[in-house]
Amino acid sequence: MKNTTMNAIVFESEGKLALKDVAIPSIQNPEDVIVEIEVCSICGTDVKIMDVPPGYAAKPDVILGHEIVAKVVETGNKVKYLQKGDRVVVNPNDFCGVCHFCLNNMPNQCETINALGVFTDGGFAEYARIPEKILYKIAPDLSARKAVFAEPLACVINGMEKIRVMPGDSALVMGAGPIGLLVVQLLKASGVSPIIVSEPSKLRQEFAQKSGADYVIDPRVDDPASFCQKVTKGGVDVVIELVGSQIKPAIQAVRKGGNILLFGLNTQVEPEIPQSEIIFKELTLYGTWIANASFSKAVKILEEDILDVESLITHTFPISKVGEGLDLLRKGEAIEILVDPKAV
């Protein structure tokens, strides 16, 4: 690296971003790896961080961005498995490895979890410093445009492994943002039918159809529970809720003995929960939080080209236009937006 500084998008304070010239990170711990960012996509979490008031709290003066594809340029003297030139994706949630939850194979519930791009510097920059244990090597020929989906796909896999859908099962997907569309594609690849998607946005409805949904409804026009009852026998086998506020209609839409996966996070609402209906219908509800032992599976799916993830990319921006990308996502005018440090 010839330069000593780089461009980065820094979260300054509530609702405020800045493009800054900051120092290129250097090795601080022997397990550190310095990577050169290839692409970093804008996540819904980034939008929530920038909301006023914020829907997700970030540390002031931190570099945002956590869905990262990068190349190794330097390693600490205790790095064991990576070397200069390797390409990697990132689990942005650094875990301690020694707390009660880490020792019980739940690092996503780590008591001192450190979220990259939220509490420590992330990927809306030209370089980043990342511990080796949260880096995953990818094939040299895997397109960065595919690899960038590793983090959201790993989160999806963590949730989907809880409900264990089978070929021939029916499903309702509530919300068709990037995560919801990955869910639809994974359900389709698993032989699930019919796949019903509930989504008010016209743009997202179109992408849901392209991703393999059998039915796409606008919940403002068609009641999801009534629609599911109409096209299935007694309701769908599984509901995946990605909105964060739709637990009641999810309970109404699922069949007796069915499963509900709660993925959506909205801390600003407290939805009504019809507990008696959960009991009468003998339902099983699962919560799912980020990724857990699912990154290697996500990388394999992407390397084997099982899903059509590139079709979800609507924009690619330089670092200087991250704010514009956030606005597009907030207005529902984009699906997946990539930030390329080399773009101008």
pLDDT tens by residue, 236-291: 999 999 999 999 999 999 999 999 999 998 888 888 899 999 999 999 999 999 99
Average pLDDT over residues 64-73: 98
Architecture of domain 5-149+307-339: Alpha-Beta Complex (3.90)
pLDDT at 2: 72
Work out the angle at residue 217's Cα, subtended by the Cα atoms of residues 212 and 223, and round it to the nearest 5 degrees: 140
CATH of the domain spanning 156-287, picked from 3.40.50.150, 3.30.465.10, 3.40.50.720, 1.25.60.10: 3.40.50.720
Q: How confident is the model at residue 211 (pLDDT cuts 50, 70, 90)?
A: very high
Q: Which residue has the higher pLDDT, 272 or 9?
A: 9
Q: Is the pLDDT of residue 339 over 80?
A: yes
pLDDT at 344: 78
pLDDT at 56: 86
Contact 329, 50 (CB under 8 A): no
Give the DSSP letter of residue 116. Answer: B
pLDDT at 215: 98
Backbone angles phi, psi at 137, to 5 degrees: -70, 140
DSSP string of 192-252, one letter each residue: --SEEEE---HHHHHHHHHHT-SEEE-TTTS-HHHHHHHHSSSSEEEEEE-SSS-HHHHHH
Average pLDDT over residues 155-171: 97
Domain spans, the chain:
5-149+307-339, 156-287
Could you give the percent of the chain with pLDDT greater than 70?
Answer: 100
- Spell out the residues 6+ positions from residue 45 whose beta carbon is closer than 8 angstroms to its own: 56, 66, 118
Directed axis angle between helix 178-189 and helix 202-211, to 10°?
20
pTM, to two decimals: 0.96
Is the bond leading into 25 cis (omega within 30 degrees of zero)? no
pLDDT at 55: 85
Contact 207, 181 (CB under 8 A): yes
Q: Is the pLDDT of residue 1 over 90?
A: no
Q: Is the pLDDT of residue 3 over 90?
A: no
* Matching fold, domains 5-149+307-339 and 156-287: no
Average pLDDT over residues 125-141: 98
pLDDT at 288: 97
- Mean pLDDT of all residues in the chain? 96
Range name among 121-125, 163-167, 206-210, 266-270 with the lowest pLDDT average: 266-270
Backbone angles phi, psi at 119, to 5 degrees: -110, -20
Give the burial class of 20: count Cβ atoms within 10 A of its Cβ; 0-12 exposed, 13-18 middle, 19 or more buried: middle
At 287, list the tokens: 């919560």
pLDDT at 270: 86
Range name among 53-57, 127-131, 133-137, 182-186 with the lowest pLDDT average: 53-57
